[in-house]
Structure 1
């Protein structure tokens, strides 16, 4: 079946309509897969790329639970540079993605405001800003209580300090995905291809296998998000990643003192966060530790509070308490009494509870080495974007830890460089390789 766009998009393609060859196949129709398609054709016009997505539309995976945000205040240098490049593309979307892209992605650069309600966290934010200034991010500000209160009077009585990132905001991530694909005129997109395996011969990639036949290609980019480990395993390839369900929720209500022009607000640890959403709504998130007890049949990975492989029944993994817990945490931090602010029951009426996955490096790909030689695993924020060390022709773009939307332009360019044998866009991007287990300041930060 062909879409109204003609041969570019094929939904549930027939065997006769299936392409037989491509220069590069990209598996995964989320932001990083779409960005790789864009970046490859930009670097090499006329390249025959094929994007394969298991769902019936692009951006139907973990992107659905994304808050669609972006920011520049990253303390580790590889991600900081990746984000600077991505922001440059987003700020100049028409130049990079074609006329009309800027209007479609609809950037709302209203900033990120990291809040301290006590002196100890205020000191931590001050150290954060000093680090960010030291690596060149001079636009990040430390705000004392008076400055916070003058800018946001509703916070005057609860906030003692804040870290402010003015080059931050949110966008329409689905529009961004489609803008990437539109900007690659020679790319074709196959939708509703429920199974894709990576074919190898003599140890190197020769293409992919689908239920409707094989497609020959010398290079495959695996950018399938949470489905990447399953695709890899079924292809006889190991990936050192883990999956953790990630929840958010959207409401149709927002209290009046939290205006539509406000920034993203991030509370004290465990960092509940919220931003205005279209109309009079809001969207909430929290780095909430999901517990494997909710679905023990999914082969939980208790060591990481995660699951080993994705599930088609992802909605079953929602914790029904999550919205109430998040709002209670927000109300406590903001000192909202009953019926006030985030403690208003109208937030719980007609909300939409979202769920996706965060995908991380596992303990074999993120660790420090102790003086006695033992490895100490840690939770890394770095994606894996590099050639697979054991399978020539396979390029990985996985484990984006929830930052796949905001870093997608730079991630796509890096995957494209590896796929096409080009120099790295920045030498510091080498830190996204599997053989780099640690970089400084690589720790969980919202």
Structure 2
């Protein structure tokens, strides 16, 4: 196998896989390498996502990426199965959060997101309302155009490539050193040494550490732990139960067959590693749920945790480094990386190849974090 590539992407989670797919969609002749440190791609954040498409999620500045991804999810290209299952999102008002729904509605209005109000009677009659204690069902907001995402099918579809062109995937390939020599990156991994003129940093929670190896300044990415509990409850959750979120951000839940997924909506600062759920976090969120709900929790069936990485302004980082030639950032997708992956991948491909971006890239540019956003012109000329 050749060790020389046109573009090397470090990180084969949803960020790296979607970028590889979009690059090959735009330029099938490219030799694209995906380098993954784990035994299988998507082991960390991608494989531990609740996988919900909620257009409003991430706030108004992220809405354009979600909106630009919607058509892909609704009618995915060849090679992808159906990716969405309709499930509205319901925001209920916490008794301790008076005015919380007005705050949420203001964000919806700013982002142009469609929603409806439910009064107490409508909420009480709904599948969610029938699970809630009276003090939790005064009113709610419902965002109707929301969906569960088949994240495994989405990720595998990206990895399979497009129109017969697919990236070269190397696993068990932790990067140990990076050198820039005569306009080429030499990427030293536990699986071998590879070269490419352009390096894409899609390493998720490890992105700042990888940048340091490349001689770039870190972006202040914060790996934040989020926990999920899988519960058996009585009665079992109805199939048409929406995703239910508390306005104060203290928990959310959604059905998964006869089980209920419950998260404390937590964001605990952590370090990049194979993160595990904390017993206290699980106990706290189950207690919160029991205080709000009329159902009985029979047992905690399983649990997991994942890391969601945010830049200081909570927007993703897409673009050339500006200080280190040939280094491109695709990081900081937080908790919205799955639902924005189609547009984000195409945005990164457009920036890398000089094409037309699906959304305005300016809000996500690396320069906003203190480093000039100077494109790597030499590489762009290589494909013109």
Q: Deviations over 1:159-199 (max 9, x none)?
A: 11111111212222122111112233232111111235433
Residue 430 of structure 1, aligned match among 344, 362, 378? 362
CA pair 186-119 structure 1, distance change in 2 beyond 3 A: closer
Query: What is residue 242 of structure 2 aligned with on the other side?
Result: 263
Q: Determine the C-alpha separation between the residues in 2 that align with 1:268 and 1:116.
A: 5
Q: Determine the C-alpha separation between the residues in 2 that align with 1:198 and 1:410.
A: 29
- Does residue 148 of the first structure (1) align with residue 107 of the second (2)? no
Residue 216 of structure 1, aligned match among 195, 213, 220? 195
Query: What is residue 327 of structure 1 aligned with on the other side?
Result: 286
CA pair 224-242 structure 1, distance change in 2 beyond 3 A: same
Q: Determine the C-alpha separation between the residues in 1 that align with 2:304 and 2:282.
A: 10
CA pair 383-119 structure 1, distance change in 2 beyond 3 A: same
TM-score where L is the length of structure 1: 0.75
Q: Determine the C-alpha separation between the residues in 1 that align with 2:280 and 2:96.
A: 30
> How far did 1:283 drift?
1.4
Q: Deviations over 1:240-276 (max 9, x none)?
A: 212222221223x233263122111112423301111
Q: Determine the C-alpha separation between the residues in 1 that align with 2:151 and 2:117.
A: 29
Q: Determine the C-alpha separation between the residues in 2 that align with 1:437 and 1:233.
A: 16
Residue 93 of structure 2, aligned match among 116, 132, 147? 116
SS of residue matched to 2:62: helix
Q: Determine the C-alpha separation between the residues in 2 that align with 1:245 and 1:131.
A: 24
SS of residue matched to 1:78: coil
- Does residue 347 of the first structure (1) align with residue 323 of the second (2)? no
Q: Determine the C-alpha separation between the residues in 2 that align with 1:188 and 1:173.
A: 21
Query: What is residue 10 of structure 1 aligned with on the other side?
Result: none
Q: Determine the C-alpha separation between the residues in 2 that align with 1:65 and 1:212.
A: 25
Q: Determine the C-alpha separation between the residues in 2 that align with 1:27 and 1:385.
A: 14
> How far did 1:432 drift?
0.7
Q: Contact 1:115–1:162 at 8 Å: present in 2 too?
A: yes
Alignment of 1:181-196 (within 5 A): 181-184=159-162, 185-195=165-175
Q: Determine the C-alpha separation between the residues in 1 that align with 2:193 and 2:55.
A: 42
SS of residue matched to 1:38: helix
Query: What is residue 373 of structure 1 aligned with on the other side?
Result: none
Query: What is residue 46 of structure 1 aligned with on the other side?
Result: 29
Q: How many residues align?
A: 364
Q: CA RMSD in A?
A: 2.4
Q: Determine the C-alpha separation between the residues in 2 that align with 1:74 and 1:247.
A: 18
> How far did 1:127 drift?
4.4
Query: What is residue 248 of structure 1 aligned with on the other side?
Result: 228
Query: What is residue 285 of structure 1 aligned with on the other side?
Result: 263
Q: Contact 1:112–1:168 at 8 Å: present in 2 too?
A: yes
Q: Determine the C-alpha separation between the residues in 1 that align with 2:23 and 2:176.
A: 21
Query: What is residue 408 of structure 1 aligned with on the other side?
Result: 341
Q: Determine the C-alpha separation between the residues in 1 that align with 2:96 and 2:121.
A: 14
Q: Contact 1:146–1:156 at 8 Å: present in 2 too?
A: no
Query: What is residue 296 of structure 1 aligned with on the other side?
Result: none
SS of residue matched to 2:85: coil
Q: Determine the C-alpha separation between the residues in 1 that align with 2:184 and 2:45.
A: 27
SS of residue matched to 2:206: helix
- Does residue 58 of the first structure (1) align with residue 64 of the second (2)? no
> How far did 1:328 drift?
0.4
Q: Contact 1:110–1:263 at 8 Å: present in 2 too?
A: yes
> How far did 1:33 drift?
0.7
Q: Determine the C-alpha separation between the residues in 2 that align with 1:33 and 1:171.
A: 18
SS of residue matched to 1:332: helix
> How far did 1:146 drift?
2.0
- Structure 1 unaligned blocks of 5 or more: 1-16, 291-304, 367-379, 439-446
Q: Contact 2:203–2:331 at 8 Å: present in 1 too?
A: yes
Q: Contact 1:198–1:232 at 8 Å: present in 2 too?
A: no
- Does residue 274 of the first structure (1) align with residue 241 of the second (2)? no
Q: Determine the C-alpha separation between the residues in 1 that align with 2:225 and 2:104.
A: 28
Q: Contact 2:97–2:247 at 8 Å: present in 1 too?
A: no
Query: What is residue 311 of structure 1 aligned with on the other side?
Result: 273
CA pair 237-134 structure 1, distance change in 2 beyond 3 A: closer
Q: Contact 2:133–2:292 at 8 Å: present in 1 too?
A: no
> How far did 1:23 drift?
1.2
Q: Contact 1:66–1:248 at 8 Å: present in 2 too?
A: no
Q: Contact 2:6–2:31 at 8 Å: present in 1 too?
A: yes
Q: Determine the C-alpha separation between the residues in 2 that align with 1:150 and 1:228.
A: 47
Query: What is residue 26 of structure 1 aligned with on the other side?
Result: 9
SS of residue matched to 1:417: helix
Residue 356 of structure 1, aligned match among 306, 309, 313? 306
SS of residue matched to 1:102: coil
